[in-house]
Structure 1
Amino acid sequence: MRNNVKKSLTELDQRHFIHPTSSIKQQQEHGPAFIFTEGDGIYLKDNNGRELIDAMSSLWNVNIGYGRKELGKAAQQQMDTLAFSSAFSTFSHEPAIRLSEKLAELAPDGLNAVFLTSGGSESNDSAFKLARHYWKLRDQPERKKIISRQRAYHGVSSGSTSATGIPQFWEMAGLLSTDFIHADTPYELGTAQAIASIRNLIENEGPETIAAFVAEPVQGAGGIIIPPDDYFQEIRKLCDEYGILFIADEVITGFGRTGTMFGLEHWGVVPDMMTLAKGITSGYIPQGGVMVSDEIHETLKEKSEGTLFHGFTYSGHPTACAVALKNIEIIENENLVENSKEMGDEMLNGFRSIKDKIDIIGNVRSLGLLGAVELVEDPSTNKRFSPSLKVAPRVVEILAERGMICRSVTYDSTDIITFAPPLIINKEQIDNMIEILYDSILEVRREKNI
């Protein structure tokens, strides 16, 4: 009976379900890689009864882990009273008001107002539109351009795709929005060279045409790129010098992921705008937002006339807001931000321990529970493997066979394995992760004779 159910679901998946960010060819040839049925803590179970460690928190977002009935109860209670209500035309409700207040309490000083969305792509698109609108209100409508960075990932809607600095995301339909330009990433660069790249772009484009600079505190999909210690201080100075808004994309790095509530706290830098999603509800329901500085909010209040013609049906969705509030309560009550820091240190120590034993491991890094292991032909020179070897993707396949889900990053000929386990993970589970990783890399090393 189980096999018949599996076959039926596989066939239905192939016939009817177009998967996001997936290989359609692979789906049609092999069916879905997994059909998950249950989640508990850091573990997922598929329809074959296999249990796997989810070392990616699904899409970097299941911060409090799977199976938290508290969030289901919060959703049910809200649905029983007010499942949905529009926030258009200044209509409001308590969950959105309370969540906005809570986010202002948690955010860096000076960020006290939020525009609510349904997710990260919407949040970043909203930030870009609000930045351009702000400059129009300030009588500088020529400020339209957004500077992003290579290897950046900001989403897949029109504006956020154009801000994303991974060319594969542009190939499907092209760059859909104008006035997006990309500077060098700090990956393998010092601060001075990376900042010089941005300064050159500003000067070449004309400072008077630049609306904002956007950056992830730690680049996620680009390969867990942790910047040099002085990088964001210099970014803040550069933006202030040219009067450019600084947008921090905290979609992945927010809500404890890096061992602080928000990623930029590591460097003591406050942005002008901050985009949120993912960990705000731990993925239990779609939710996102854009926090803006007091100065931006005051400009909107003082200079706006008529309607702000931007919004989504589910902006301020009451059930999503109620779930977000309960999720944040759990993060705070269970000290998950501190646990992220402590277990992140354990994860990094584990990476370092296997690096000492395997001679194809290059740079290893982690900030909280956001980490990466690079595989290279020669660690002494950082010489990379030929892309045709597909080393990191093969390791990820072996990891899945051995019971752990990770992701590989092969952009720009890199072989990077990324990790973002739920913030509830413990030392024993970290040790198990490291053991599985060690065995899997050794197996691929033998298999490919490298």
Structure 2
Amino acid sequence: VTRKITPLAQGKELADMDRRYNFHPFTALGEHEKNGPSVVMVKGEGVWVEDAAGKRYLDGMAGLWCVNVGYGRPEIAAAMSQQAETLAYCHAFTSMSSATPALLAERLIANAPSPMSKIFFGNSGSDANDTQVKFVWYYNNVRGQPKKKKIIARQRGYHGVTMVAGGMTGLPGLHAGFDLPLPFIKHVMAPHRLWEGYGLSDAEFTDKLIKDLESVIEAEGPETIGAMII
């Protein structure tokens, strides 16, 4: 069955609706409230996206680095439609399962490096990194080492924007105004020659990074370090 979706609004009307009702992340909200969105996208095909005025753009960022197969793929749309019509939702709590996640997990493990043996499905990268921290905490609690809760991350690294993932992200702009990072997150030097190792040889810069990491571990106490996120 072919369905054509007619937009409920177009052009300036869409932009005004967005300005009035849509709360955007990573956006200067005062400017957005005054001027509205910089562009309103309405269509995508391959590596191209098109705005409400019909202007095309090459999407060099692939969405937010996640549209790696391009836009408008009919086989993907067909698979999504078939799944929605067959079983649109099924939770995984209390040992509940459904066909598609089981099949996908098996395929992912078949292509994953050893010794990986399980897949935990999440909703986003931020959610995945928050879940990793929960795993670390639970694992150490079960092992009888409840002090091993601190997470080491790198300055200028990006790991997401939720409370934990945003704190592990080493970008001060993502911390300002949110009381981040949380106290159990500690940052070490970024392995970037221009920022931290200008004029040093590879060996000298490596030694500098190692000493910085060691100093943080020693200052916090090795018995309190649960993991390091790269």
Q: Return the TM-score normalized by structure 2.
A: 0.88
Which residue is equivalent to 2:124? 119
Specify the alignment match of 1:98 in structure 2.
103
Q: Answer 1 or 2: higher relative contact order, Cα 8 Å, separation at least 6.
A: 1
Structure 2 unaligned segments of length 5 or more: list them.
Answer: 1-8, 198-204
2:221 pairs, out of 206, 210, 217, with: 206
Q: CA deviation at 1:192?
A: 2.5
SS at match of 1:45: strand
Number of residue pairs aligned between Structure 1 and Structure 2? 212
Shift in Å, 1:176: 6.1
Work out whether residues 168 and 181 of structure 2, in 8 Å CA contact, stay in contact via their aligned partners in 1: no
Compute the TM-score of the two structures, normalised by the length of structure 1.
0.46
Partner-residue secondary structure (3-state), 2:170? coil
Tell me by how many angstroms 1:5 deviates.
3.5
- Deviation per residue, 1:118-175 (Å, 9 max, x gap): 1111100000010111111111111000000100111111111111110111113212
> Hey, what's the Cα distance between the residues in 2 that align with 1:178 and 1:159?
10
Name the residue aligned to 2:149. 144
Structure 1 runs not aligned, ≥5 long: 216-450
What is the aligned-residue RMSD (CA, Å)?
A: 1.4
1 CA distance for matches of 2:36 and 2:21?
Answer: 12
Contact 2:167 2:181 survives alignment (8 Å): yes
1:37-48 mapped onto 2 (5 Å cutoff): 37-48=42-53
C-alpha distance in structure 2 between counterparts of 1:17 and 1:170, whole Å: 23
2:146 aligned with 1:131: no
More strand by share: 1
Residues in 2 aligned to 1:80 and 1:12: alpha-carbon distance in whole angstroms: 31
Question: 3-state DSSP class of the match of 1:172?
Answer: coil
- Runs ≥4 in structure 1, deviation > 3 angstroms? none
Alpha carbons 2:45, 2:71 under 8 Å: kept: yes
Given the alignment of the two structures, is residue 31 of structure 1 paired with residue 32 of structure 2, yes or no?
Answer: no
TM-superposed deviation, 1:195: 2.5
After superposition, give the CA deviation of every residue in 1:392-432 in whole Å (9 maximum; x if it has no partner). xxxxxxxxxxxxxxxxxxxxxxxxxxxxxxxxxxxxxxxxx
Task: Tell me if structure 1 keeps the 8 A contact 2:155–2:187.
Answer: yes
Partner of 2:6: none
Alignment of 1:275-286 (within 5 A): none
Is 2:82 aligned against 1:67? no
- CA deviation profile, 1:335-355 (whole Å, cap 9, x unmatched): xxxxxxxxxxxxxxxxxxxxx
Q: Does 1:191 align with 2:206?
A: yes
Identity of aligned residues (%): 35
